[in-house]
Chain A
Amino acid sequence: MRQILLFISIIFVGILFIARLFFLQVYQDNTNNLYEDNAIRKVYDYPKRGFVYDRNGKLLVSNQPSYDVMVIPREVKPLDTLEFCSLLKIDKDQFIETYKKAYTYSPRLPYVFLPQLSKEDYAVLQEKMRKFEGFYIQKRSLRNYETTIGANVLGDIGEVNQRIMNKNPYYNMGDLIGMQGIEASYEKTLRGVKGIKFIQKDRFNRNIGPYKKGKFDTLPESGKDIKTTIDATLQAYGEILMANKRGGIIAIEPSTGEILSMVAAPTYNPNLLVGRDRSKNFTKLYNDSIAKPLFNRSLQGVYNPGSPFKLMNALVALQEGVISTDEKVTCYAGYKYGNSFMKCHCRVGTRNDMAHGIQESCNTYFATVYRRILDKPENASLGINVWSNHVKSFGLGNFLNNDLYVGQKGRIPNRDYYKGIYPKTFYSTYTISNAIGQGEVATTPIQLANMIAAIANRGYYFTPHIIKEIKGETLDLNFTTPKYTTIDKQHFEPVIEGMLNVYKYGTAKYLQIPDIEICGKTGTVENFVKIDSVKTQLTDHSIFVAFAPKNDPKIAIAVFVENGYFGSRFAGKIASLMIEKYIKGITTRKDLENFVLNHSLEDEYAKPYSGVPFKINRETALQTIPIEEVNKLKAQLTKLEY
């Protein structure tokens, strides 16, 4: 024992040390990651964010420099707070509060002390920055919108939040990321890759020199410019026409699926979301829960499609062979099924074939057709699935898988959908509202525009997209391969004929544009809201879908004006004007334009919130806008001409 006490002690301590080393160096999770090594300072070099152009090469979005004041709390030395605050134009309380926040966030990590300094403030501050240890200036690039239009399309960039940083380690505190629109969909393309320099620090946080002589440093890779499919002029025109209204316009080039314009009203000036006031303005827009300017109605607005949906039923009926184009259906100013009656504005005894049915938007005709489709197989349960699949082949009832940041599925019901409501028996009459685009069917404006594009193409469509060109990259195959519908080509002609008649003789006959053969369809959609838990009907939505020219379609369009009443009152006019503007570049139907510009629907929108009973549809007078306002809009229009 006497001889081995020291021996045992040595062995014991040796093993203990090895165990401890094992715990510290092997068992504990040690990342040898340079990014997490706080002995290495990471200095980022932000690349230029790519520019955004319209389809004709007009610059829409560029960059402007901005300067953030950053702080690393642990490195802060006592400073002349008064001077610092006056340089930054903040007060002392704000200084203390921000400093505390920064310290809570992390004493060792950089925190954005004051974002987006103006150039002038930066110039003054830069001279004195070295006096304030622990603070430094990080240069960043902000967006500069060369236009006031297209906020919904272009989107904006904002600072990353903790959630994004957790999900994607590329981003650091204070980095900017696309939040909406193109900026979000093409974030990776536009932002490029930031460069990084690793700098060895000592324990006093002084820089000693580049880590390993800059072996791991990377150069920034600048973001790529992108060309969008948007036609800036058409977009601006659409936005002006939609002033004082709510809704959306989607125009698509049928032969490519390129989105020519995507108007969501109300909109806002994209420059509001740039710079230091971004969050203030964003909050204001975000909190506007009535007009919802951040809600992209052309992509996210799910509405009953109304009469334009009759086109779908006509096509499915022809494909299923349940009706011929010549067969006439008698309308008794409505359609009687069981004990119910669906009204129609046809005179009693009118006999409509398919062209007339579309032209006059006869409810009876389409109710008949819809029932025949559903009843063709053994029972309506099978029938509605057949019907549903045909309709879905037009891109309705599902996400389009496009490159837009937001979207909605809409709803095209099948038997499963109705299982909850009609678990056992199911007859075609149960869902008769679907025949006229009311009831359970629901679509977004972009889906309707895509449907029209498929009709214009006589049977196929390209997924609508907003990207036209990225330098050095080919477009996603998804956007360049046609998607075929389940309807054979020959069935489209009669329907298109009917749509042409809508313009020639039907509900849109006053909206004709000289020299352009437009095929269209009006829609008037009943809608309801709950006011104090009472279901109340509001003025109908005004809907219009169209494409033109008939034989070589260049534009397919869907217009949706909330509470605009009948289809040709607002939506139809706007569609016609847009089509003419796009094809001819000028406006000849000034009368239509004046009507749209002169009238506002703001009164209409205020009604549900007024708290008093109100009248709807034809019982209300249309609100006109003061002449100065109209002149302002007209002045904007004149600017567009150049």
Chain B
Amino acid sequence: MFRQTDRHFKFDWVTIILFLILVVFGWMNILSASHSGITIDYLNFSQPYGRQLIFIGLTVILIIFILSIDAKFYERFASLIFIVSMLSLVGLFLFGKNVNGATSWYGIGGMTIQPSEFAKAATALAVAKYISDLNTDIKAFKDQIRIFIIIIIPAFLILLQNDAGSTLVYASFFFVLYREGLPKIYLTLALALVAISILALKFGPIITSVLAIIFIIINYFIPKKKPVILQPIVTAMACIVIAFGIKFFYQNILQPHQQDRISLWLRLEKDPTKIAQMRRDILYNLYESEKAISSGGFSGRGFLEGTRTTGKFVPEQHTDYIFSTVGEEWGFLGSVFVVIVFVLLMLRILKLAELQKSQFSRVYGYSVASILFFHFMINIGMVMGLIPTIGIPLPFFSYGGSGLWGFTILLFIFIKLDSNRINEW
């Protein structure tokens, strides 16, 4: 449609259109989820849908700003941006405002800003900058540790603010590091850790340990070239420690509501009355959101017609549970549409990332795709009851200025970087 050489339109319009679809459709669902009755006043700024309209308006200015800055700025100032962002997270301990038990907001006038939403983009820039440095060798253990530290700093700060959900997102950088050459052993370890954790919780640490040891023994005897005997022994010991450690962690460190979420997810509780009780109390949100989604049926009840949405049966429906509105009002067709648009957006970013000539752009693009993927997977998975309740927003969809801006910045920095790839130096 537009010639690539045209200076003003060299941005990747497919990505931008997918972004616009999500933002507009997202706003329509926020409207459904937050309008309070018969008449809708679109400019009522005391209502979430009205405020979100302002946020979207401001987003346009933000996008113009991001796209007009020189692409090299982001690479050059990545470290500075990261440091500023980390300072804003630290500042929360002094000036933060507590909302729903998490100290993640600055209160400025009547508005609140959540710096952790912006920290993702900053971290992505920092990771990209560090990996793309000519002196960095990702296969070297020293550099691996440094990259981990870059990622762990924001994750740790956010965890201290009691926002476990947002912390988890930083695990998405694993995809980036792995793509850039992180040794395979990390993937094996990560998968093993997940497997052992789940097995230990579900069947107990002893059975898990036995299974692990059997597995290790088989692995030891299959290859013709036997490794040193010490290696499997250490691995087995580690497995046993992790299995018991996870159990201990679950029983003594996790808070009761987190325990219950995991317990329900893994179906650890056997007493049916207690399960019903837990479902009603702890998983009330999930129960209602699943109900709302299924009540949509194949074609949905129609825009602004969802009875469970109108009745506000799903708590936090305009934020974390926004997907249940899609489910109820737009049905299977609408929900699948949203899933497909997200998948297309992520795949598009992935493809563009692979096309980048500079490693910085590629790593950054990969980070964007990974972060979006984590949000997408955890949020929709949670709303549909596939994974335990973890409160993070659905990108571009959920209500909230910080979230919307955070994701917009994240995405549009990449669009800017991508637009610059033909005149890379």
Contact = CB atoms under 8 A, between A and B. Distances in A.
Contacts of B370: 6
A203 B33 CA distance: 13
Interface string A208-234: 110111000000000000000000000
A25 B294 contact: yes
A86 interface: no
Interface in B369-392: 369-370, 373, 376-377, 380-381, 384, 386
Contacts of A6: 175, 179, 350, 366, 369-370, 373
Contacts of A200: 307, 310-311
A211 to B, nearest CB: 7
A7 B313 contact: no
B178 A5 contact: yes
Interface string B19-48: 000000000000000001110000000000
B295 interface: yes
Interface string B337-351: 001101100110010
Given A13-B377, A25-B335, 18 more contacts: A3-B179, A5-B175, A5-B187, A7-B350, A10-B343, A10-B347, A10-B373, A18-B336, A22-B332, A24-B384, A25-B293, A26-B298, A30-B294, A39-B310, A203-B311, A203-B313, A208-B310, A211-B307
B340 A14 contact: yes
B165 interface: no
Interface in B274-315: 288, 290, 293-298, 301, 305, 307-308, 310-315
25 contacts: A5-B179, A6-B175, A6-B366, A7-B347, A7-B350, A9-B175, A9-B373, A10-B343, A13-B373, A14-B340, A17-B380, A17-B381, A17-B386, A18-B339, A21-B335, A25-B296, A26-B298, A26-B332, A30-B295, A39-B311, A40-B307, A203-B313, A203-B314, A208-B311, A213-B38
B346 A10 contact: yes
Nearest to B370: A6
A6 B373 CA distance: 9
B343 A14 contact: yes
A202 B294 contact: no
Contacts of A340: none
Nearest to B305: A212
Contacts of B386: 16-17, 20
Contacts of B137: none
Contacts of B315: 203
A39 B308 contact: yes
B395 interface: no
A553 to B, nearest CB: 64
Contact of A208 (B37, B175, B187, B380): B37
A25 B346 CA distance: 25
Contacts of B381: 13, 17
B327 interface: yes
Contacts of B179: 2-3, 5-6
A612 interface: no
Q: Which 8 interchain pairs have the tightest Cβ spacing? A: A39-B307, A14-B343, A25-B332, A39-B311, A24-B294, A203-B313, A202-B311, A6-B175
A538 to B, nearest CB: 59
B403 interface: no
B354 interface: yes
Given A14-B343, A21-B332, A3 B313 contact: no
B205 interface: no
A2 B384 CA distance: 30
A202 B342 CA distance: 31
Contacts of A10: 343, 346-347, 350, 369, 373
A21 B327 CA distance: 8
Contacts of A13: 373, 376-377, 381
Contacts of A208: 36-37, 310-311
Interface of A: 2-3, 5-7, 9-11, 13-14, 16-18, 20-22, 24-26, 28, 30, 32, 37, 39-40, 200-203, 208-209, 211-213
Contacts of B376: 13
Nearest to A201: B311
Contacts of B335: 21, 25
Contacts of B313: 39, 202-203
A248 to B, nearest CB: 55
Contacts of A203: 288, 311-315
B154 interface: no
A201 B175 CA distance: 45
A140 B332 CA distance: 42
B37 A209 contact: yes
A24 B350 contact: no
A8 to B, nearest CB: 11
A622 B19 CA distance: 102
Among A18, A20, A39, A202: residue with most chain B CB under 10 A: A39
B401 interface: no
B181 interface: yes
A25 B175 contact: no
Contacts of B332: 21-22, 25-26
B331 interface: yes
Nearest to B292: A39
A211 B336 CA distance: 28
B366 to A, nearest CB: 7
Among B175, B310, B354: residue with most chain A CB under 10 A: B310
A627 B275 CA distance: 73
B318 to A, nearest CB: 14
A633 B293 CA distance: 71
A200 to B, nearest CB: 6
Contacts of B295: 30, 32, 37
Contacts of B336: 18, 21
Contacts of B37: 208-209
Nearest to B301: A32
A16 B342 CA distance: 14
A145 B376 CA distance: 68
Contacts of A16: 386
A14 B339 contact: yes
A379 B120 CA distance: 105
A2 B373 CA distance: 17
A211 B312 CA distance: 14
A505 B86 CA distance: 123
Contacts of A17: 339, 380-381, 384, 386
A2 B181 contact: yes
Nearest to B295: A30
B294 A28 contact: yes
A11 B311 CA distance: 34
Contacts of A14: 339-340, 342-343
A30 to B, nearest CB: 5
Nearest to B345: A10
Contacts of B347: 7, 10
Given A10-B347, A25-B332, A30 B175 contact: no
Contacts of B298: 25-26
A25 B330 CA distance: 11
Nearest to B315: A203
A22 B297 CA distance: 9
B284 to A, nearest CB: 9
A14 B335 CA distance: 11
Nearest to B36: A208
A623 to B, nearest CB: 64
A1 to B, nearest CB: 9
A28 B340 CA distance: 22
Given A6-B179, A14-B339, A24 B293 contact: yes
Contacts of A213: 38
B327 A24 contact: yes
Contacts of B301: 32
B339 A21 contact: yes
B303 to A, nearest CB: 13
A30 B357 CA distance: 51
Contacts of B373: 6, 9-10, 13
A23 to B, nearest CB: 9
Nearest to A204: B312
